[in-house]
Chain A
């Protein structure tokens, strides 16, 4: 399994895509932060500059784009093999396809953690800089540590979900479009509108985990962080299990 995971990681490293995506992600993280940190004279904002939760919440919020990116990376990991026909040589090397899929999930977790660490470090530095320059509260309490930990967990799990979706859908364009529509449109409309159900959806759990609640004015209605974590783990495990059971049965033509 180690050999397979190393091979999967080499696949990701040996094309330019990952680096390009990572740089684009950091640019988007910076943009999100710029929008999230309130101006000095801002009134009527969910969090003011002197709110001690500000740093943690902005950092949590800035993970929205990396979250989409790791899912896309996972989807591409799985679908690219079909798009370019490399799946044939992959399965010739390891005909037990479930093992290949598990290796892909593990390598996606590692890749997602790299994206998470880089994004979080970048985000903390940029957010602190911006808050300081506007004279805001820089408390880095337990809430920040909770957001950082949750960020690692959320991105790792989303990476697994991406691989599972890609393995199940196979068609790259369909998978990418479906993921983007679901994550950026459907969930963002559904979760706040029908919170009793929405808080159980993946996005609802990440709102709870990444402390995005206050800015969206959803604070009290979300799941408790540990429950949200369990639910999201459940989604990832279920998606991976479904993919491992279903995908290897298909013919590779």
Chain B
């Protein structure tokens, strides 16, 4: 694939994006910018509003209020949407009786793309050998690749991927990471949604975290990691005494997987245990990132419901 000029790609902008279904606020007042040349992870638990947000972005769901634009244009105002934005959405499907090649030919025909594009994107996503098989015979992982191939048909500057690792085997996940990284390095805008931070930890540059329809965090992943600090997992036959020592030292902890998860570096925990004569059976450092993510998306107290992201974080 050719290297793109960054000027060709566009940023995604969401402004006060809101969607209510009846009395349910699926997405409330989401404002964010997704920058070109970077992989932006769109994180949140299932049901947080990720898919609805992405569908509003792509003109499939009409926002109750607010706007979502690509360089200032709504998706349905784009002159050549397939050449500007590629998307893989979770619920998007395939006719099981149609071959992969025909599926892509239908899209390429409607979008007036060059005839060779379907075969090119199939080769690029590793499906060239299965191009003439009916999609009904495809595995979930192959369908994900076919979805990605469809998104790449118009060689777009913006990629929107909704939970693309679903159904992929570990090898496929690794391949996808490399692929997504390369797309961003080519100057494209890449927005990838996921319900698990661990899935995007190695690829994302920026994170947007959504919980219960509200954006609770928008920053670089590095900033989130720095804030999250470090933690440790410790196992001891005497958790009560270690807990008391941690209390005194001012560290928080909670029981987890037969041990304690502590919000302190392993060095500190080890020294504290030695000072109090507590026996340890295991001690390991953990990134605090995952915990920070769970704190962000965790069920807020009722009075916190109207808080802004900064307040929740503090």
Interface residues of A (CB under 8 A from B): 3-4, 6-7, 10-11, 14-17, 80, 84-86, 88-96, 249, 251-253
Whether B60 and A252, one on each chain, are in contact in the complex, defined by CB atoms closer than 8 angstroms, is: yes
Distance, CA A70 to CA B60, complexed state (A): 29
Q: How far does the alpha carbon of A253 sit from the alpha carbon of B62 in the complex, in Å?
A: 10
Pair count A-B, CB < 8 A: 88
* Sampled A-B contacts (24; CB under 8 Å): A6-B110, A7-B109, A11-B95, A11-B98, A14-B95, A14-B99, A14-B102, A14-B106, A84-B95, A85-B93, A85-B94, A86-B95, A88-B89, A89-B92, A89-B150, A91-B60, A92-B82, A93-B107, A94-B111, A95-B58, A96-B76, A249-B62, A251-B62, A252-B60
B91 close to A (CB within 8 Å): yes
B105 within 8 A of A: yes
- Cα-based distance from A91 to B99 in the complex (angstroms): 20
- Chain A residues near B59 (CB-CB < 8 A): 91, 95
Asked if B93 contacts A84 (CB within 8 A), the reply is yes
A3 contacts which of B76, B78, B85, B110 (Cβ < 8 Å)?
B110
Nearest CB in chain B: distance from A170 CB, A: 14
* Interface bin, chain B: 20 to 34
User: What are the 8 A-B residue pairs with the smallest beta carbon separation, nearest first?
Assistant: A85-B93, A7-B110, A88-B92, A95-B76, A14-B102, A252-B60, A7-B109, A15-B97
**Closest-CB distance, A2 to chain B (whole angstroms):** 9
Complex alpha-carbon distance, A10 and B106, angstroms: 6
Is there a chain A Cβ closer than 8 Å to B216's Cβ? no
A166 to B167, CA, bound (A): 32
Q: In the assembled complex, which residues on chain B have CB atoms less than 8 Å from the CB atom of A251?
A: 55, 60-62
Which residues does chain A contribute within 8 Å of B109, judged by CB atoms?
3, 6-7, 10
Residues of B within 8 A of A90 (CB): 110
- Collect the chain B residues with CB atoms within 8 Å of residue A88's CB: 60, 89, 91-93
CB closest residue in chain A, given B92: A88
Q: Name the B residues within 8 Å of A89 (CB-CB).
A: 92, 107, 150
Instruction: Contacts A14-B102, A86-B103, A95-B75 known; list 7 others, CB within 8 Å.
Output: A11-B98, A88-B89, A88-B91, A88-B92, A92-B60, A251-B62, A253-B61
